[in-house]
Amino acid sequence: MSRVLVIGCGGVAQVAIQKCCQNSAVFKELCIASRTKSKCDDLKNKLEGKTSTIVTTAQVDADNVEEVKALINSYKPDVVLNVALPYQDLTIMDACLACGVHYVDTANYEPEDTDDPEWRKIYEKRCKDLGFSAYFDYSWQWAYDQKFKDAGLTALLGTGFDPGVTSVFSAYALKHYFDEIHTIDILDCNGGDHGYPFATNFNPEVNLREVSAPGSYWEDGHWIEVPAMSIKREYDFPQVGKKDMYLLHHEEIEALAKNIPGVKRIRFFMTFGQSYLTHMKCLENVGMLSTTPINFNGHEIVPIQFLKALLPDPASLGPRTVGKTNIGCIFTGIKDGKEKTICIYNVCDHQECYKELGSQAISYTTGVPAMIGTALVANGIWNKRGTLTTDEFDPDPYMEMLTEFGLPWIVDENPATVE
């Protein structure tokens, strides 16, 4: 029975919190804290009478370590679930360390200000040393490993769907299906349609930074970087159909390359429609994806933040999104001396998610695993110490909870592969 502090109250948080409240046996008390407290109060009111979890709310600026520490010291949670933005990962980790509580998040650190010279120096060295140039990487959070170990604490990094479930699928495949895994292709397909010419399914700023970055994959012990959207494949996704997908850099590749012994190649593909790509290219060409502030009529504005203000709030897409997502991993390798290929995937229906929780499937497929990772840390089933990703624990209890809490998975032992 635990007391959990959730920071953030956006699209993903709304699902994670409602799922925590369906799991009152673990989540006895829960505080929802965010920058805009009215959103937390609205969600608390929506949950009234539907759960035996005791829900309270608070206001917090998670960019400010002292504010987060003060909130943790007054609420005294066992675990903090960070479902705010990746910009707040390090401040919340600092506060958790200072107060002696476990930490959980869904996305690895990236700075809000990519022009910060201190950060840029380290970033440029990392680009040269490792060979990929995305703004996000694990080095910042892995640097906390010894501190969390010394404090006897767990920092569970990246328990969304991808990263998160895709890494659990990898640990599960290794435990139950393979002696050696040689290749992993992670395929993220959103076959949903929200009817807008252009919108993103999660935080627009974070999403557009991710998909406009050069693509990269891991092969034979090193990164290979390619121009954004330059590797395209078509795949016939079960229950969705044929879609074009593009190779992206993605954070779980970094952790899987470290944790799956002998893996030779790891790639990540995401589906995009032509309209999305055309809009994105146009916005990029005119400078609207820039994170560098400009002066406009005496006001400093950051173009990508201004764009975020114009785009639909991802949390509002629920009622109008129809179709399904299909996210999973294709593994090849060896079992008992023979070559083997399997695919483990989940299919999620946007309208079913909306009926259950009022959210679209992208928030749903991220929020459910956020709850599961938090529950496993809170009840001590996942109890390794340090900064760890989901592939570093026993996958079985997580896989059972995926089915129990709305994300059942399928193992296909004869899947189509990606060339």
Binding site for ligand NDP (CB under 6 A): 7-13, 34-36, 39, 60-63, 83-86, 88, 106-107, 158, 160-164, 202-203, 206, 314-315, 366
Determine phi and psi for 371, rounding to 5 degrees: -65, -45
- Judged on CB neighbours under 10 Å (0-12, 13-18, 19+), 269 is buried
Which is closer to ligand NDP, CB of 16 or CB of 21?
16
Which is closer to ligand NDP, CB of 168 or CB of 206?
206
Which is closer to ligand NDP, CB of 151 or CB of 353?
353
Kindly state the helix (H) or strand (E) to which residue 68 belongs, with its residue range: helix 65-75
State which residue has the least CB distance to ligand NDP: 10
Q: In angstroms, what is the minimal distance from the CB of 62 to ligand NDP?
A: 3
User: Can you tell me the distance from the alpha carbon of 75 to that of 102, in angstroms, rounded to the nearest whole number?
Assistant: 14
Q: In angstroms, what is the minimal distance from the CB of 138 to ligand NDP?
A: 13
Residue 17, both tokens: 């919190």
Displacement of CA 35 from its chain's centroid (Å):
20
Q: In angstroms, what is the minimal distance from the CB of 92 to ligand NDP?
A: 9
Q: In angstroms, what is the minimal distance from the CB of 395 to ligand NDP?
A: 16
Q: How many CA atoms lie within 13 A of 118 on its CB side?
A: 4
Q: In angstroms, what is the minimal distance from the CB of 304 to ligand NDP?
A: 13
User: Can you tell me the distance from the alpha carbon of 296 to that of 179, in angstroms, rounded to the nearest whole number?
Assistant: 59
Burial of 20-42, coded b for 16+ CB within 10 Å and e otherwise, reads bbbbeebbebbbbbbbeeebbee
User: Can you tell me the distance from the alpha carbon of 168 to that of 183, in angstroms, rounded to the nearest whole number?
Assistant: 16
Q: Strand pairing partners for 410? A: 345
User: Can you tell me the distance from the alpha carbon of 51 to that of 262, in angstroms, rounded to the nearest whole number?
Assistant: 46
Q: Strand pairing partners for 271? A: 245
| Integer angstrom CA distances of residue 181 from 115, 170, 247, 345 | 39, 9, 20, 17
Give, in degrees to the nearest 5, the angle at Cα 153 between 137 and 249. Answer: 15
Which is closer to ligand NDP, CB of 83 or CB of 329?
83
User: What residues contact 250, with CB distance under 8 A and at least 6 apart?
Assistant: 162, 163, 186, 210, 268
Q: In angstroms, what is the minimal distance from the CB of 346 to ligand NDP?
A: 12
Which is closer to ligand NDP, CB of 112 or CB of 396?
112
Q: How many CB atoms lie within 10 A of CB 179?
A: 13
Which is closer to ligand NDP, CB of 13 or CB of 151?
13
Residue 287, both tokens: 């400078």
Q: In angstroms, what is the minimal distance from the CB of 13 to ligand NDP?
A: 6
Nearest to 104 by CA among 403, 378, 364, 366: 378
Which is closer to ligand NDP, CB of 6 or CB of 229?
6
Which is closer to ligand NDP, CB of 77 or CB of 333?
77
Q: In angstroms, what is the minimal distance from the CB of 312 to ligand NDP?
A: 11
Which is closer to ligand NDP, CB of 259 or CB of 332?
259
Q: In angstroms, what is the minimal distance from the CB of 39 to ligand NDP?
A: 5
